[in-house]
Chains A and B, each alone.
Chain A
């Protein structure tokens, strides 16, 4: 018996966050009593509209969630991503603003710094065998401090046309940051699924002992996952800095670790590791951004936005927990029997 396309789509991890987004869009439409929310206009060949804004503003979280997905897939977690965003922004800002280095050099240096920080987390987890939360917590604390040290605690203004394009430019009518995220997603998908890296990551997360016994260098796989996460965070930091044309090391990337973890969990990758879905994480990140925009649209002050986020994540976790599954399963079979 082969499944229909619809059936397999329904079981895909993307369905639930996608349904959530649709629900939120519906809430907006009903609240506005107009279709303004869905309207997309074209000016100077660029797309404008709320949906485009969601894509643009959500791109940073999407990017960080990509890296976080891999770390969570190998049964880890990376709390340092917010701080690493600040580090990336700080390194680039100092190189760009204080000395007249090229944009390419500044970006390379920034990404190298955050990738190294990711590697440090990975080594702490695999070599020293510190729990992932603790290892990345250290990087989180120290990283923020180093970022502030680099910029002397000041907000550094960046005015370089090439750099500004990153977070504000348009390509093919779409915000460049969105295009970048989509391109990276596709690239990652090709690398992970065409090589055996994706399989190794899933195996290491699904059963670490078994993968070691089957001859896999588990430590190396984990380190690479943490490095990728650092790299993604650094790039997200550059996007953020470019978007506001400044590097804010105190607040930049704040709470990003939470948003990214939420996006990954909502996107169907279990915190226990194993099977992962990059697409699910991207849609999860979009769901969070849509939620933020919806709150704003409903007149809820932006400061309150964490509350619905928290409720959402608690709800998703409870739904995924074994206990409630058993309860729900019981209800289901009871109904079938009746």
Chain B
């Protein structure tokens, strides 16, 4: 099955990159090879990872969403304020936050699809709206004291073998699983890829292009809000400045995962490996201690560049063939 191997090549490259990075870090730093460090790859990147799942779907369709970081900040402070200052039950507050995220996404999707505005501009405006809204609620971060949320923060599932999976890691794994099913086992997911691959063809094939595009931004808005909830549980506080610049990390994770930024080609498993690569670099820099967080940005940026060049190279060959 040569053809199916070629189709999976970007995925294999990404998986290989992760293994090489993880093994190198394991050799360089004592104590890196441990189940705790491995689980932390999920725990520490949970918020970015959940956002990346939604971003993967948007990028499948050939779009982009720059508002996710701001939506995370908005959700974070909204949640904290509602629960701590207004005594709203966390479940109700979480539902409201998810609905608001989805609502903003739907609004942006409509501007993109109905008014034919470029996605990056619309979602930039959405970013301003959400970040401004977050700072409007409060400019200070608020500590979470509600027993349910504190409980979730401290909770960890222990399936045995010394593994401890905290709530945030579980949410990320669940989001990835749901994203995988949606992307690869439903018509919605396949329609996204078809639209991203060739929107004109998708229209002529009779696929519901407009509805699918508005839905994917809606879904991504909800995903970003969920990432905000994860951030609240992870940090134990609501912070309006949470997630500044996170949209770039999410995009980088998706692209490193082998998904084509211009749309139409990609795999949710790639995003999983993208998250693992991102987490490994983050942990390695932490283990090292000498290198600042600046290196995270540089390495992620260069990886992004490298993978885009790789994609161009492979696409260029395909172009010439046809």
**How distant is B72 from chain A, measured CB to nearest CB, in Å?**
15
A324 to B114, alpha carbons, bound, how many Å?
10
Known: A137-B251, A258-B127, A323-B116. A145 touches B296 (CB 8 A): yes
Q: Inside 8 A of A137's CB, which chain B residues have their CB? A: 248, 251, 304
Which residue of B120, B125, B252, B293 is within 8 Å of A314 (Cβ)?
B125
Binding stretch for chain B, among A163-171, A189-197, A200-208, A298-306: A298-306
Known: A310-B125, A310-B129. A149 touches B295 (CB 8 A): yes
User: Does A128 contact B312, Cβ atoms closer than 8 Å?
Assistant: yes
User: Does A261 contact B135, Cβ atoms closer than 8 Å?
Assistant: no
User: Does A133 contact B64, Cβ atoms closer than 8 Å?
Assistant: yes
A50 to B127, alpha carbons, bound, how many Å?
29
User: Does B116 contact A145, Cβ atoms closer than 8 Å?
Assistant: no
Q: Inside 8 A of B301's CB, which chain A residues have their CB? A: 138, 141-142, 145
**How distant is A274 from chain B, measured CB to nearest CB, in Å?**
15
- Chain B interface SS verdict (over half): helix
Could you tell me which residues of chain A, from 301 to 324, have a CB within 8 Å of some CB in chain B?
A: 301, 303-311, 313-314, 317-318, 321-324
B283-321 vs A, CB cutoff 8 Å, 1 = contact: the mask equals 000000000111111101110110011001000000000
Q: Inside 8 A of A324's CB, which chain B residues have their CB? A: 115
Check if A271 is an interface residue, CB within 8 A of chain B. yes
Check if B96 is an interface residue, CB within 8 A of chain A. no
With most chain A CB atoms within 10 A of its CB, the pick from B117, B261, B305 is B305
Which residue of B116, B135, B300, B304 is within 8 Å of A321 (Cβ)?
B116
Q: Inside 8 A of B300's CB, which chain A residues have their CB? A: 141
**How distant is A118 from chain B, measured CB to nearest CB, in Å?**
16
A94-138 vs B, CB cutoff 8 Å, 1 = contact: the mask equals 000000000000000000000000000000000011110110011
Q: Inside 8 A of B115's CB, which chain A residues have their CB? A: 317-318, 321, 323-324
Check if B128 is an interface residue, CB within 8 A of chain A. yes
Which residue of A134, A140, A142, A265 is within 8 Å of B261 (Cβ)?
A134
Closest to B308 in A: A130
Q: Inside 8 A of B197's CB, which chain A residues have their CB? A: none
**How distant is A326 from chain B, measured CB to nearest CB, in Å?**
11
Check if A153 is an interface residue, CB within 8 A of chain B. yes
Check if A77 is an interface residue, CB within 8 A of chain B. yes
A323 to B114, alpha carbons, bound, how many Å?
8
Which residue of B117, B121, B293, B308 is within 8 Å of A148 (Cβ)?
B293
Check if B196 is an interface residue, CB within 8 A of chain A. no
User: Does A310 contact B126, Cβ atoms closer than 8 Å?
Assistant: yes
User: Does A313 contact B125, Cβ atoms closer than 8 Å?
Assistant: yes
**How distant is B319 from chain A, measured CB to nearest CB, in Å?**
10
Q: Inside 8 A of A308's CB, which chain B residues have their CB? A: 132
Check if A144 is an interface residue, CB within 8 A of chain B. yes
Check if B111 is an interface residue, CB within 8 A of chain A. yes
Q: Inside 8 A of B122's CB, which chain A residues have their CB? A: 314, 317
User: Does B293 contact A142, Cβ atoms closer than 8 Å?
Assistant: no
Knowing that A131-B261, A138-B304, A317-B121 touch, tell me 8 more A-B residue pairs with CB under 8 angstroms. A133-B120, A137-B248, A145-B297, A148-B293, A261-B124, A301-B135, A311-B129, A313-B125
B residues within 8 Å of A by Cβ? 64, 111, 114-118, 120-122, 124-129, 131-133, 135-136, 139, 240, 244-245, 248, 251-252, 261-262, 292-298, 300-302, 304-305, 308-309, 312
Closest 7 CB pairs of A and B: A303-B135, A145-B297, A306-B132, A142-B301, A148-B294, A307-B132, A310-B128
